[in-house]
Chains A and B, each alone.
Chain A
Amino acid sequence: MISVGTIAENILSNHTGKEVKAGEIVIVPVDYMMSQDGTTPLTIKAFKEMNGESVFDPSRYAIVIDHNAPSPIEAVSNIHKEMRAFAKDTGARLYDVGEGVCHVLVPESGEALPGSVIIGADSHTTTYGALNAFSTGVGSTDLAAALVSGKTWMKVPSTIKMQYDGELPVGVYSKDIALRMCGRLTANGATYKALEICGDAIDSLSVEARMTISNLAVETGAKVGLMRCDAKVKKYLEGRAKRKFKGVDADEDATYERVVEEDVSKLSPQIACPPDVDNVVPIEKVLGKEIDQVYIGTCTNGRIEDLKIAASILDGEKVDKDVRLIVAPASREVMLTAIECEVIEKLIKAGAAVTTPSCGPCVGTCNGIPADEEVVLSTANRNFKGRMGNTKAPIYLSSPAVAAYSAIKGCIADPREVLE
């Protein structure tokens, strides 16, 4: 097929078998689907209301127990029980308590593939855009409709190209690019649009680090945060990919709504200040802000690279006596690797409380809800008022390096002081 589109347009063209352009509404076949414990109960309800009898292809559906795991109360336990039964009935792949966070598990399992269309009943499903998947969050009813029919409807988005060039300075990471992106575009700067995230700076990142940026794409309102399928993506998928795939690129004369350029060589560590993800400042503006709790983990920054960075800073050091450091490796695979390479030992020796791979306090369900007036520094993706379960506890967001160094210092501190 000859097409002259953006990555988003070309993936949707391939899936519909006709050349589609931004603005059109199309019904597209879905390659993979996911729901978690916050969204599965309503998915089951909608599935039954639609008189759904079976999932069109259960091998393409994952149910993940991660948002509230292990269950802290009986109501949640009952939800989990219902999810397990639904997985058994439909033949879907169940990821139970302790296996990890959905957006880390789906790529690990080789189901997030270049050129594919994925929907997840979780807003951060944009994460797999780093693997060149047209991947977006939907509600439970949309997901149920896809379970029944194998399809979903979409408005083909127009695209903003995010061009990142230059070499990242020491102590500055993909999370800083991502936060800066949220600050520049603002919380609704890309609503209903696709982001195409590219440039030398992106090429130089690992696939894991890229996922952090696609994860935060939704915080600009974007539908997808797409990147190219390069040699690193193919390498990441070696031995993992569950199906054959073919990367989809943009055509040279594709039409972009606008192009946003950034030279990352001038970037400082970035901090999102409460209570909005787009309230982003360079770290220099908030240095010395006292903190009570640090959380390292989540679908944004709970991967092995993130934990290795944190452990390298915390190695041989001690967490400040007035600070709690909670670390949740984002999956069992991450946890096991972190044990093998002594990352967990270093973290625990420094004073960290290491918890079950799950979303945990990021979403205010369990494992570390802050007290009134306590200040939290987290590597997560949201800092809304009450996000972590207490409206009186302000949340700052940062990279794992800033989080780890600040835990030692007892206040927001710049890791470039100790990184060479």
Chain B
Amino acid sequence: MKDLYGRAHKFSDNVNTDYIIAGKYKFKSLDMNDMAKHLMEDLRPGFYEEIEEGDFIVAGENFGMGSSREQAPLVIKAAGISAVVAKSFARIFYRNCINVGLPVIECDTDSIDEGDEIRVDLERGFVHNITKDKKIKATPMPPVMVKILNDGGLSEHFKKHGGFNLE
């Protein structure tokens, strides 16, 4: 898995799925590129315009709390975000990210500020803050999740193995 590189967009604790993509949009369209324009719209209007391909969403505790809507990780991915880095994640959101092939990194994000240049080494599990010249160790991902992510998500995993092949 190759390193990810981009700039940090910093968010606080408890960013919920209604902020990531409001319920009113998820029922109207299945076009993720179209919905991506509304990413974080209620929390930070104009956010989509700030993103450059490869950037990161960096957040505090419990990122992605709330709904089970898979549109949440899908629109983040469609907006060009390469991974979400947070202190902790909500359960369903975390699973959904892995299932759709969006990398999630759990680590202490206090030292990362808005606009910091970041490199993420998924393989060895650390985040390198280039701007601050600081390396942060990430919580290792459970092997089951690494396997699904390496296959490119759960659909690809099923296609490849014909079902669960995690043990």
| Chain A contacts to B: CB under 8 angstroms | 25, 27, 37-39, 41-42, 45-46, 49-51, 67-68, 73, 75-76, 79, 120-123, 125, 137-142, 144-145, 148-149, 151, 153, 155, 187-188, 191-192, 221, 223, 276, 363-365, 382, 384-387, 389, 391
User: A191 is contacted by which of B71, B88, B154, B159 (Cβ under 8 Å)?
Assistant: B88
A187/B14 in contact, CB under 8 A: yes
Interfacial chain B residues near A153, Cβ < 8 Å: 144, 164, 166
User: B23 is contacted by which of A27, A73, A142, A389 (Cβ under 8 Å)?
Assistant: A389
What would 14 more interface pairs be, CB under 8 Å, given A191-B88, A191-B91? A25-B142, A27-B164, A38-B27, A42-B30, A75-B29, A79-B30, A122-B68, A139-B69, A141-B96, A141-B153, A149-B163, A151-B164, A187-B65, A385-B18
Interfacial chain A residues near B65, Cβ < 8 Å: 187-188, 221
> Is B24 an interface residue, CB under 8 A from the partner?
yes
- A384 and B68 in contact, given A153-B164, A188-B14, A223-B91 (Cβ under 8 angstroms): no
8 A Cβ contacts from B91-121 to A:
91-92, 95-96, 99-100
Nearest chain B CB to A102 CB, angstrom units: 12
Nearest chain B CB to A99 CB, angstrom units: 18
User: B18 is contacted by which of A122, A125, A148, A384 (Cβ under 8 Å)?
Assistant: A384
B96/A364 in contact, CB under 8 A: no
8 A Cβ contacts from B26-58 to A:
26-30, 42-43
Interfacial chain A residues near B28, Cβ < 8 Å: 73, 75-76
Interfacial chain B residues near A41, Cβ < 8 Å: 30
B27/A37 in contact, CB under 8 A: yes
Interfacial chain A residues near B144, Cβ < 8 Å: 25, 153
B62/A46 in contact, CB under 8 A: no
Interfacial chain A residues near B153, Cβ < 8 Å: 141
Interfacial chain B residues near A67, Cβ < 8 Å: 23, 27
- A188 and B61 in contact, given A141-B70, A386-B42 (Cβ under 8 angstroms): yes
Cα distance A187–B14 when bound, in Å? 8
B16/A384 in contact, CB under 8 A: yes
- A276 and B92 in contact, given A27-B167, A144-B155 (Cβ under 8 angstroms): no
Cα distance A139–B30 when bound, in Å? 15
Cα distance A365–B158 when bound, in Å? 33
B164/A145 in contact, CB under 8 A: yes
Question: Could you pull out 9 A-B pairs where Cβ atoms are within 8 angstroms?
Answer: A42-B30, A123-B66, A123-B68, A138-B68, A142-B154, A144-B154, A188-B14, A188-B62, A391-B42
Q: Which residue of B lies closest to A71 (CB)?
A: B27
Nearest chain A CB to B43 CB, angstrom units: 8
Cα distance A73–B29 when bound, in Å? 11
Q: Which residue of B lies closest to A72 (CB)?
A: B27
> Is B131 an interface residue, CB under 8 A from the partner?
no
> Is B90 an interface residue, CB under 8 A from the partner?
yes
Q: Which residue of B lies closest to A391 (CB)?
A: B42
Nearest chain B CB to A390 CB, angstrom units: 9
Cα distance A42–B155 when bound, in Å? 12
Interfacial chain B residues near A365, Cβ < 8 Å: 23-24, 27
Nearest chain A CB to B12 CB, angstrom units: 12
Cα distance A272–B91 when bound, in Å? 22
B27/A68 in contact, CB under 8 A: yes
Cα distance A363–B27 when bound, in Å? 10
Cα distance A144–B156 when bound, in Å? 12
B23/A149 in contact, CB under 8 A: no
8 A Cβ contacts from B5-30 to A:
14, 16, 18-19, 22-24, 26-30
> Is B67 an interface residue, CB under 8 A from the partner?
yes
Interfacial chain B residues near A51, Cβ < 8 Å: 158-159
Interfacial chain B residues near A142, Cβ < 8 Å: 95-96, 99, 154
Nearest chain A CB to B30 CB, angstrom units: 6
Interfacial chain B residues near A76, Cβ < 8 Å: 27-28
Interfacial chain A residues near B62, Cβ < 8 Å: 187-188, 191, 221
Interfacial chain A residues near B95, Cβ < 8 Å: 138-139, 142
- A27 and B166 in contact, given A139-B95, A187-B14, A191-B91 (Cβ under 8 angstroms): yes
Cα distance A142–B69 when bound, in Å? 12
Interfacial chain A residues near B156, Cβ < 8 Å: 49
B96/A49 in contact, CB under 8 A: no
- A39 and B42 in contact, given A27-B164, A139-B99, A192-B91 (Cβ under 8 angstroms): no
Interfacial chain B residues near A42, Cβ < 8 Å: 30, 70-71, 74
User: A148 is contacted by which of B43, B74, B163 (Cβ under 8 Å)?
Assistant: B163
Q: Which residue of A lies closest to B94 (CB)?
A: A192
- A38 and B69 in contact, given A139-B96, A384-B16 (Cβ under 8 angstroms): yes
8 A Cβ contacts from B147-167 to A:
153-156, 158-159, 163-164, 166-167
A50/B155 in contact, CB under 8 A: yes
Cα distance A31–B29 when bound, in Å? 31
Q: Which residue of A lies closest to B87 (CB)?
A: A188
- A148 and B14 in contact, given A153-B164, A363-B23, A385-B42 (Cβ under 8 angstroms): no
Cα distance A364–B42 when bound, in Å? 14
- A50 and B158 in contact, given A139-B92, A389-B24 (Cβ under 8 angstroms): yes
The 7 residue pairs across chains A and B that have the minimum distance between CB atoms? A188-B62, A139-B96, A141-B99, A49-B155, A50-B158, A139-B70, A137-B68
Cα distance A187–B101 when bound, in Å? 26
